[in-house]
Amino acid sequence: MRKSELRPITALPVNPEEIWQGGVLNAAEAMGAPVDEDGNEMFIALWRSSSSGLINVTPFVANAASQTSFVNQFAESMLAFFELHEFPFRPARLECHDKKLAIALDKKLAVPELVVEHQPSMPEWEEVIADFASDFAAQMGGGTSPPKMIEVGADLDQWRAFAMAAANFFRAQFWNHLDDVDVIRFDSPTVPESMRYGVILGAGGEIVGIGFYAQEQDHYDVMAQRASMESVSVLSVAYDPFDEINAEDAEFWRRHDLPLETWDAFPSFYGFDQMVPRQPTLPELITATEILQALAETTEDEIDAGKWAKTVEVLGERTVCQFSIPNLIDPPDRQEWIRRGMAPETRGLEGMQQLAQQFIEQNEGLEIEELQRLLNEKFIGEIDEVEYPMDTPADRAAAKARQAIDSYGRRRLQLVRQALQEDPEHVESLTLLAEWMTDAERRLDAFQQAADAGRRQLGAIMEHEVGNFWGLLETRPFMRACHGLAHALEDCGRPNDAIAQYQEMLHLNPGDNLGVRYDMIAMLISGDRNLEALDVMDEYGEETGLWYYSHALLQFRLGGAKSRTAQEAMREALKFNEHVVQVMQSDAPIPRPDRYQLGSVEEACVCIETWGEVVPEMKARRGLIFGTADCSRIALAFGSRGWSAFGRSCSSESTLPTRAPQRPHPRIRSFPVPS
C-alpha cells in the first residue's frame, strides 16, 4: 500500500468520537476452512465503526509465515472499509485486538493522522466476529448434506424408467392443473405407507414437483401451522438445476445418458424424516416411477371427475394406478377450509353487502328502527343461509363466483368455469380465472379481458363516479381486475404500462383501498422517475418504514448524500426502523411475511421485497446513505436470531399493503428440498 492511497482518509476532518476497530480471524482454526499444501490459509478481516456500527468483512488468503503479505492485506481491508462506506471524516484512532498486528499496522501506515493502538477488549467487535464465525462455519459445513440418490439399490433399467417418467411429468406441467391444497389419494397399486397421499408443487413458482405424505392430515396440519415440517415425515420429487445436484448423481445421469426434460429439471428424490434427508427405498422409487408416469398421462377431464385410473407400463409390467382427490369428490365448506388454515377472503362478503344495500334502497321510507329490525332479520346469521336472486345469468354467475371465493384449489377453478358458462362477461369470475393462471402472458390477457368487461359493465359510472370507486360495491370487481392487470403488466416487463394502470386506479379511488401506491412508488423509484415518486409520497404521507426509507433514497438521488435534506431523511428512517440496514446487509433469503409490526424485522423485509430492483443500488450506496447516520451495530451475519422473529406472533399488527389476490399457495415453500 502506498501512502498516496491513504490521502483520501488523512485529508478528512477528524471525528474525535470515532474509532475504527479491526482484527483478523483465522478461518482455518475457527471455521474449519481448508489449508493448502503450501501453507496458505484463509483469513477474515473485520472492521467496525464505533459511532455508526457500520462494518466490512474482507476475506483474504495469506501464508501466516509471511508477515509482510499478511499486514499488507489487513491494511488494504481497512482502506476497503473506508471506500465502501465513504465516511465524511477520519477516525480519532484505529484499534486492533492483537498487539503484534497493531504494531505492524502502525508501522505499515506510518502517518501521524492515523494512530493505531492495541485494544485487547473490544466487546462489540468480538460479538460481530463471533456471529460471523458461527454463521460461516454452518455454511461451510452445509448442514446435513443430501444423500446420494444412486445408492438406493436400483439397477440401471429402473433408474432409466424413473428418469423417463420424471421427464414426462415435468413436460405435462401438472402444476398448471392442481394447487398444493389439492391432496391426491393414491388408491392403487399398493403403495408404501410413506406415499399414501401427495400434493403437486409448483403453483407458486417456487418448488416444482410432487410431495408425498403418509397421512392426509399431516398436510393440512402444516397448512394450518398446527405442525411444522420438522415434525412430519415426507418424500418429494423436486426438480433442480443439473449443476446444483450431488456430483455423483450428476455423473451417473451423464454417464448413462438418462433422460432429462431440461437442464433445470433434474428429478431430486429424497425422503425427509423431521427435516433430516434420507434416500428413498427401492419400493418408493418404483412407486414414484408409476405415479409420475400415470399423472403425466392424466387429462383435465379425468382430474375434474375427482377419481380416475391410468394403466401404465414400466419395465414391461402393466400397472393400474387409481387416484382420487377428496376435495373434488366431497368439497369442503368454508368452515372446513378455515380449520385447514385458509383464511376466508373478504370479497366473498360483498354480495351480501350489496344485497343489504339494495334492501335499504327499496325500503327508503321506513323508520330507522324498523329498517334495522328487518335488516337483522334478513341478514344476521350464517352467511350460507342468505338468499340471493337466481333469476338472470348474471345472478347465477355471481352465485358460482361466491362459491368459488369460498373454495380453493381445483374446486375453485371448476366453479369459476361454471360461472363463466352462465355469464362470459362476469368480471369477478374472469378475475378469478386470471388469478389461477401461471403463464405470465396468458395471465396478462386474462386480466385484460376482466378489466375490459368491467369497463363495459360500469358504463357511465366510469365518468360520473370518479373519486368514489371502491365506495361503490359494484366497482370493486373492476378495481381488482385492474390491480391484477397492473401486476401482470409488470411481470411481463411493461413497467410504464403498469404505472399508468396504477395512476388510473388512484384517479378513480384516491382513498387507495387496495394500497396500489406502494407498488407504484416502488416502480417509479426503479424507473428513476424520482420527482413523480416524491409527488405520490407527499400526497400519501404516512408513518411506515417503507415510506421513510423510500423518501430517504429519493432525497439522496435528488440532492446528493451530503445534502441536509438527505441526511435528515436517513436519520428519520433509521430512527423509525433500524432493521432495514441489517436485513439489507445480510445474505440470508428475505421472506415476505403475512403481517408485520411497525419498526420490526418483518417490516424491514417488506421494505426490501417491495423495492425490488432498487435494492442493489441501496446496497451499493449504503455507505453514502447510512455512513453519516446514527445507527446501531449492523450485524453481518444476521442469521437465525433475527429470523426467529417470524415464529413469534405480532401484536399491534399492520397489515401488508394489499396485493391482487393470488392463487392460494401460502405454504408451497414449506415443503423441504435438499440444499
* Structure confidence by residue, pLDDT tens digits, 253-296: 999 999 999 999 999 999 888 777 889 999 999 999 999 999 99
pLDDT tier at 537, thresholds 50, 70, 90: very high
Average pLDDT over residues 382-406: 84
Question: pLDDT tens, 176-190?
Answer: 999 989 999 998 878
3-state secondary structure of 644: helix
Q: Which of 4-18, 235-249, 429-443, 450-464 has the lowest mean pLDDT?
A: 4-18
- Cα separation, 420 vs 417, in Å, equals 5
What percent of the chain shows pLDDT beyond 90?
A: 41
Checking if the pLDDT of 658 tops 60, the result is no
Question: pLDDT tens, 332-351?
Answer: 998 898 888 888 888 877 87
Pairing of strands 14-26, 90-96: parallel
Checking if the pLDDT of 478 tops 50, the result is yes
Checking if the pLDDT of 131 tops 70, the result is yes
Q: Which of 131-135, 406-410, 466-470 has the lowest mean pLDDT?
A: 131-135
- Cα separation, 315 vs 232, in Å, equals 33
Give CA separation, 99 vs 78, 120, 372, in Å: 17, 8, 82
Average pLDDT over residues 570-599: 77
Checking if the pLDDT of 654 tops 60, the result is no
pLDDT tier at 669, thresholds 50, 70, 90: very low
Pairing of strands 307-314, 266-273: unpaired
Three-class SS string for 298-310? CCHHHHHHCEEEE
Average pLDDT over residues 100-128: 86
Is there a contact between 36 and 27 (Cβ–Cβ < 8 Å)? Answer: no
What percent of the chain shows pLDDT beyond 70?
A: 82
- Cα separation, 570 vs 576, in Å, equals 10
Q: What strand order describes the sheet that includes 276-278?
A: 276-278, 266-273, 233-240, 209-213, 197-201, 184-188, 317-324, 307-314
- Cα separation, 674 vs 271, in Å, equals 10
Average pLDDT over residues 612-627: 49
pLDDT tier at 386, thresholds 50, 70, 90: low
- Counting runs of H as helices and runs of E as strands, what totals does the chain give? 30, 15
Beta-carbon-side half-sphere exposure of residue 517 (alpha carbons within 13 Å): 23
Runs of H (alpha helix) within 306-426: 326-329, 334-339, 350-362, 368-379, 393-405, 410-422
- Cα separation, 319 vs 673, in Å, equals 29
Which residue in the block uniquely carries the three cell numbers 424413473?
A: 162
* DSSP label at residue 64: T
Checking if the pLDDT of 663 tops 70, the result is no
3-state secondary structure of 86: coil
364: which 3 cell numbers? Answer: 327508503
Which residue in the block uniquely carries the three cell numbers 339494495?
A: 358
Backbone angles phi and psi of 228, in degrees to 5: -105, 165
Structure confidence at residue 14 (pLDDT): 86
Structure confidence at residue 623 (pLDDT): 45
Q: Which of 51-55, 234-238, 294-298, 453-457 has the lowest mean pLDDT?
A: 51-55
- The per-residue pLDDT of the chain, averaged, comes to 81
Structure confidence at residue 638 (pLDDT): 22
Distant-in-sequence, close-in-space partners of 654: CB < 8 Å, separation ≥ 6 = 544, 595, 596, 597, 598, 603
535: which 3 cell numbers? Answer: 409527488
Distant-in-sequence, close-in-space partners of 425: CB < 8 Å, separation ≥ 6 = 453, 456, 457
Beta-carbon-side half-sphere exposure of residue 529 (alpha carbons within 13 Å): 15
Checking if the pLDDT of 33 tops 50, the result is no
- Name the residue with higher pLDDT: 103 or 365: 103
Structure confidence at residue 186 (pLDDT): 95
- Cα separation, 551 vs 573, in Å, equals 9
Structure confidence at residue 424 (pLDDT): 97
pLDDT tier at 157, thresholds 50, 70, 90: very high
Structure confidence at residue 297 (pLDDT): 97
pLDDT tier at 384, thresholds 50, 70, 90: low
Distant-in-sequence, close-in-space partners of 156: CB < 8 Å, separation ≥ 6 = 256
| Neighbour-count burial for 436-454, b at 16+ CB within 10 Å, e otherwise | bbeeeeebbebbbbbbbbb
Average pLDDT over residues 621-642: 32
Structure confidence at residue 602 (pLDDT): 83
Q: Which of 86-90, 182-186, 469-473 has the lowest mean pLDDT?
A: 86-90
Checking if the pLDDT of 498 tops 80, the result is yes
The whole-angstrom distance between residue 655's C-alpha and the CA centroid of its chain comes to 16
What domains, with CATH codes, occur in the chain? 3-141 (3.30.420), 149-329 (no CATH)
| Neighbour-count burial for 143-161, b at 16+ CB within 10 Å, e otherwise | eeebbebbebebeeebbbb
pLDDT tier at 445, thresholds 50, 70, 90: very high
Distant-in-sequence, close-in-space partners of 34: CB < 8 Å, separation ≥ 6 = 28, 42
Structure confidence at residue 267 (pLDDT): 96
Is there a contact between 667 and 222 (Cβ–Cβ < 8 Å)? Answer: yes
Structure confidence at residue 633 (pLDDT): 25
Checking if the pLDDT of 508 tops 80, the result is yes
Checking if the pLDDT of 390 tops 50, the result is yes
Is there a contact between 179 and 663 (Cβ–Cβ < 8 Å)? Answer: yes
- Name the residue with higher pLDDT: 31 or 227: 227
- Cα separation, 136 vs 587, in Å, equals 11
3-state secondary structure of 561: coil
Q: Give strand pairing partners of 336.
A: none
Checking if the pLDDT of 377 tops 80, the result is no
Structure confidence at residue 611 (pLDDT): 63
3-state secondary structure of 6: helix
Backbone angles phi and psi of 489, in degrees to 5: -60, -40
- Cα separation, 499 vs 522, in Å, equals 10
- Cα separation, 484 vs 502, in Å, equals 10
From its phi and psi, is residue 287 left (phi > 0), alpha (psi between -120 and 50) or beta? Answer: alpha
- Cα separation, 507 vs 515, in Å, equals 13
Checking if the pLDDT of 153 tops 70, the result is yes
Output the CA torsion 515→520→523→527 (10° steps).
-160
Q: Give strand pairing partners of 233.
A: 273
pLDDT tier at 422, thresholds 50, 70, 90: very high
3-state secondary structure of 598: coil
Residue 209 has a CB neighbour count (10 Å cut-off) of 25
- Cα separation, 39 vs 52, in Å, equals 37
What angle is formed at CA 652 by the lines to CA 670 and CA 598, rounded to 5 degrees? 75
- Cα separation, 78 vs 376, in Å, equals 73
Checking if the pLDDT of 529 tops 60, the result is yes
